[in-house]
Amino acid sequence: MKSAARRRQAGMIVFAVALILAACGRNGDDRREDRWRLPAESPKVALIGLDGATWDIVNELTARGALPNLKKLIDTGVSAEYTSIEPLLSPLIWTSIATGVTPERHGITWFMVRDPNTGTPLPITSAKREVPAIWNIASDAGKTVGFVGWWATWPAEPVNGFMISDQIAWHGFGLGMAKEEANTSKTYPEALLFEIEKDVVDPLKLSKAELDRYMNITDLEYLASAGQEFNFKNPLHHFMYMLGTLKTYEKIGLEQYAKHRPDLFGIFFESIDTTGHLYMKYRPPPIEGIPQDLYSKYNTTIDEVYKRNDEMLGRFLDQLEPGTTVVICSDHGFKTKDDRLAELENTSVSNAHKWHLRHGVLIINGPDTKAGYRLEEASVLDIAPTVLYALGLPAAEDFDGKVLTEAFTDAFVAGHAVRTVPTYETAFSNVAMPTVSPEVSKEMEEKLKSLGYIGGDQSAAEMIAAMDAIETHMNRLDMYRRKGDLASALAEAETMIKLDPDDPRAWSAIGDVHASLGRSAEALKELTKAEELIDKYKKAPPRHPNGALKYPKLDDRLMSVLSSTRAVVLMQEKKNAEAEKFFKEAQKLDDDNVMAFYNYALLLENTGRTEEAFKAYQVSAEKFPEHSFSLNNLGNMYFRKGDLQKALEYYDRTAAADPKHHECHHNKGVTLLKLGKQKEAIEEFRASLGENRISYRLSAASGPN
C-alpha cells in the first residue's frame, strides 16, 4: 500500500506545455471531472508544446471566453511569461526545452545537416544531439515514456515506451509516409509505423468545408490548390500542410496515449507558429500596407487556429491519468500589434525570425501546483528540470535551468525536496546517423527546395555543405557573442575559415571577433580580405559545376557585420565621428547585430556622452538579454549613478548569462562593500579570481570595471 504522501506525489502536475491544442472535443464544461487534478498512484507529466503561442492573443481570447480549456488551466494553475534563448529558431529551442541545456551544449544549432560520408542532405537529426533528453533520462529511471512529433527526434531513439518522430507528418521537413524507403527509424519500435499509418492525414485532400472555418476563400481558390503538387509560393498549401500535420499528430497522440498511458507523455504542435507567419499580418486591427481584399479573407484565421488548439487541448485533458502534471509551453512569442511586418510575401523565409518575440507562454497545472499563480521568472531551460522534479526524479547539477519549485504549493515542496545528480551526460550515447536511399535523398532535396531553404538552382548537397560551413557555426558564434564569450566565438570563426577559406562571411566573422577583442590590426586585415572577396564576387560570382551560386547570401546581415567591424577599428584609431556613422549604418542593416549596438554604447561612454551611453546600453541589454558585456556595463552605469540595488541586479544578470565573467563578480563585490555587506563581498571577490588569479583590494573606494 502506497503512502498518502506517495499518492499526492503521484498526482502532481500537468505541465501545460506548448500552449494550445487544436481539434475537436471538450468545450470546457465545468461539470466534467478534471481528472488530471485528482490524486494518482504514481507521478505523471504531460508536456504539450505549442510552437509560437503568445500571451497577447491568449489573454485576449481567454477574456472573451474563446479558449475555455486554457483559461481553466491558467485560473487553477501557474502561468508565466517565460524567457526563450537566442537565436529564436525552433529546433534549437525545443531541444533546449527537452534537455535543460543551451544549444552550444546540446549541439542542435541549425535546421539541417548532411551525412558526413555521403553528403546526403538531412533534416536536423537526433544523431546530432550531444546530451540526453528527458525521454532518455526518464526511461533509464524506469519510467514509461511516449513522445509524438517533437522537433529533432528522427531517428526515433529506443525508450521505455514509444517514440513517434517529427518525420511522420509534414512540419519542418517531414516527408510524411510518402515512401517506404524514407521510413527507417521514424518510430520506436519500428513496427509502430505500420500501426499509425492509418492516422496520417493527406493535407492536399482536406475539404473546403474544413478550410471554411479559418478563411473566406472561393471555390476556385480551393480547387486551384487541393490535390495539386505542393507549391512553396502558395500560402494555402502551407496552411493545408499545417492543418494536415495537426490532425495527424492529434489522432496519433490521442490513440497512443490511450493505449499506453505513459508516465511521461510529450507532444508537439507547430500550427500556431506556421499560421502566424502566414496570416498574422491580417489579424485585426488592420495594419497599413495590407490590401483590404486579403484582410477580408484572412482576418479570422489566427483566432480560429487558437480555438482549434484549445479544443484539441480539451481532448487530451479528458484522456489524462488522474494526478498528471500538465505543462504547456511555447518556444517563443509572436508579434501581434504595431510591430508586425507588413510584408506582402506570405511565405518569406528570410524574414521569419523577425516575427518572433523572446517571451513565450508557460502554464503548469496539477493537484500540487498553486492556483491562479503568476511566476515572475522562468526560462525554457527550466522545463526539463521541472518535469523531472514532477516525476519524482533528480535534476542534474549541470543543467543550465532550474526546478521551478515556486510553481508548487509550500506543503508539497516541504515534503519533496529537490534532489540532484552531478550529470546525466556520462551514460548518454547518440543514436546512429540515419541513412537514406538515393531516391529518398532526391525527394528530400526537392522538399527543401520547395520550403525555400535551398536555392532553386542549387543541389541540396552543395547547399547543405555550405550551411555546415556557415549557418551552423555562425549560429554558434552568435550565441557565444551574445554571452560575451569571445574566446569560444573566435574558435567558431576559425573553424569557418578552415572549412571554406574563400567565403567572405567567414573572414567577416573572424574580423568581427578580433575587433571585439581589441586586435585592430588583425581585424583590419580580415575585414579587407572579406571586402576584396565581395568585390570580386560581385564582378564574377563563383558558381558550382551545375551553375548554382556558391555564395548566395552576401546580404544585409553580412554588410552589417562589415560595417560594425569597420566602426570598431575606427573607434580604436580614435576616429570617433566616422565610427559612429558606421555603427548606425550597421544597426540599420541588421537590428540583430549585437556588437553594433554594444560597441556603439561603448563609443558613447568613451567619448563622455554619458546619458546617451546609458540609454544605448539599456537598448542593447533589452535587445540582447544574454549579452554579458552589455549587462555588466549597464550595471556599472547604475553604480556611478548611485543606484546600487539596480547595479546589483545587472551584475547578477551578467553572472547568469556568463558564470565565467569574473569582472562582474569583482564589480558586485565593490558594490556590496559600499552597502556594508563585507562577508558577501568577499565571496564575490573570491569568485572574481577564477582562472585569472587577479588580486583585488577590498576597498569600497575602488569603482567597477
The predicted-structure confidence for 581-633, as pLDDT tens digits, reads as follows 999 999 998 888 888 999 999 999 999 999 999 999 999 998 888 788 999 99
The predicted-structure confidence for 297-308, as pLDDT tens digits, reads as follows 999 999 999 999
Q: Are strands 121-123 and 112-114 parallel, antiparallel or unpaired?
A: antiparallel
Quick check: helix, strand or coil at residue 568? helix
Q: Which three cell numbers stand for residue 154?
A: 528522427
Domains of the chain: 4-421 (3.40.720.10), 470-617 (1.25.40.10), 627-705 (1.25.40.10)
Residue located via cell numbers 558558381: 543
pLDDT at 109: 72
Q: Are strands 333-334 and 324-329 parallel, antiparallel or unpaired?
A: unpaired
Residue range 83-100: mean pLDDT, rounded: 88
Residue range 230-240: mean pLDDT, rounded: 83
Looking at every residue in the chain, the average pLDDT score rounds to 82
Could you tell me the pTM of the whole model? 0.74
Residue range 310-332: mean pLDDT, rounded: 95
According to DSSP H, which parts of 540-643 are helical?
556-572, 576-589, 594-606, 610-623, 628-641
* Range with lowest mean pLDDT among 81-90, 96-105, 315-324: 81-90
β-partners of residue 113 are 122
For residue 458, give the amino acid letter: Q
Highest mean pLDDT among 40-49, 162-171, 347-356: 40-49
pLDDT at 550 over 60: yes
pLDDT at 235: 84
Alpha-carbon dihedral 235, 151, 332, 451, rounded to 10 degrees: -20
Dihedral (CA of 327, 330, 336, 337) sign: positive
* CA of residue 18 relative to chain centroid, distance: 12
213 within 8 A of 304, measured Cβ to Cβ: yes
| Exposure on the CB side of residue 110, measured as CA atoms within 13 A | 21
Q: Is the peptide bond before 542 cis (omega within 30 degrees of 0)?
A: no
β-partners of residue 78 are 364, 373
Residue range 153-168: mean pLDDT, rounded: 91
* Range with lowest mean pLDDT among 169-178, 288-297, 676-685: 169-178
Q: Rounded distance, CA 659 to CA 687, Å?
A: 9
Quick check: helix, strand or coil at residue 335? coil
According to DSSP H, which parts of 100-133 are helical?
103-106
- DSSP 3-state percent helix, strand, coil across the chain (nearest 5): 50, 10, 40
Residue range 57-66: mean pLDDT, rounded: 97
More confident residue, 172 or 556: 556
For residue 633, give the amino acid letter: N
The predicted-structure confidence for 628-678, as pLDDT tens digits, reads as follows 899 999 999 999 999 999 999 999 988 887 777 888 999 999 999 999 999
Cβ contacts of 457 within 8 Å, gap of 6 or more: 546, 547, 548, 549
